């Protein structure tokens, strides 16, 4: 006769597996809630960095190419663009402004859909100076100041 031995099988029950999976789902849900504010902060910092870099690039482009540029910020379309001041208006930069960032009027005049409209001359200087504000979802205001002549801009949190 053969001696039949039962092997001792050990494993996880369905309830144990469901419990572990629910804990993993709970941890991933909580971490996604904590990551969301960090993403908004990163998006805001990335936008301001990109905006300043675009304005500096536009100034350098005007000087190096000896072209006059036109900078426009569109309120309703939530974007800004830089175009060559020619008959065809060749686009140099076209960027979307994140939905979490709104524009508030300052000293720049608004004309219809266009909020800010100024030109960069071939020497990189602006034809207008003034301020406007970016409002971020967490109710922080950032003041953007364009200086007369030098074409420099400053972004300061208020």
- The structure tokens listed for 53 are 């870099």
**Average per-residue pLDDT in the chain?**
82
Percent with pLDDT over 90 in the chain: 16
User: Which pLDDT band, with edges at 50, 70 and 90, does 21 fall under?
Assistant: very high
Q: How crowded is residue 152: how many other Cβ atoms within 10 Å of its Cβ?
A: 16
CATH placement of domain 39-157: 3.55.40.10
| CA-to-CA separations, 135 to 5, 99, 105, 116, 158, in angstroms, rounded | 75, 11, 10, 16, 10
pLDDT at 112: 64
d(CA 107, CA 46): 25
d(CA 134, CA 100): 10
The per-residue pLDDT for range 54-104, each reduced to its tens digit, is 988 888 888 888 888 888 888 778 888 988 887 777 889 999 998 888 888
40 phi and psi angles, rounded to 5 deg:
-65, -40
- The structure tokens listed for 153 are 């801009």
Report which of 118, 110, 42 is spatially closest to residue 76, judged by C-alpha positions.
110
pLDDT at 151: 65
pLDDT at 8: 65
The pTM for the full model equals 0.72
């Amino acid at each position: 006769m053969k001696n039949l031995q039962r092997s001792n099988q050990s494993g996880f029950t369905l309830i144990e597996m469901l419990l572990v999976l629910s804990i993993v789902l709970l941890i991933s849900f909580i971490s996604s809630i904590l990551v969301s504010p960090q993403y908004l902060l990163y998006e805001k910092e990335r936008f301001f960095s990109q905006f300043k870099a675009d304005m500096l690039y536009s100034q350098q482009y005007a000087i190096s190419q000896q072209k006059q540029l036109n900078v426009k910020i569109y309120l309703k379309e939530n974007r800004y663009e830089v175009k060559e001041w020619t008959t065809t208006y060749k686009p140099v930069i076209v960027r979307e402004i994140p939905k979490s960032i709104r524009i508030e009027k300052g000293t720049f005049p608004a004309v219809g859909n266009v909020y800010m409209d100024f030109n960069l001359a071939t020497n990189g200087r602006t034809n207008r100076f003034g301020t406007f504000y970016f409002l971020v979802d967490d109710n922080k205001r950032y003041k953007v100041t364009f200086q007369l002549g030098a074409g420099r801009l400053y972004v300061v949190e208020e």
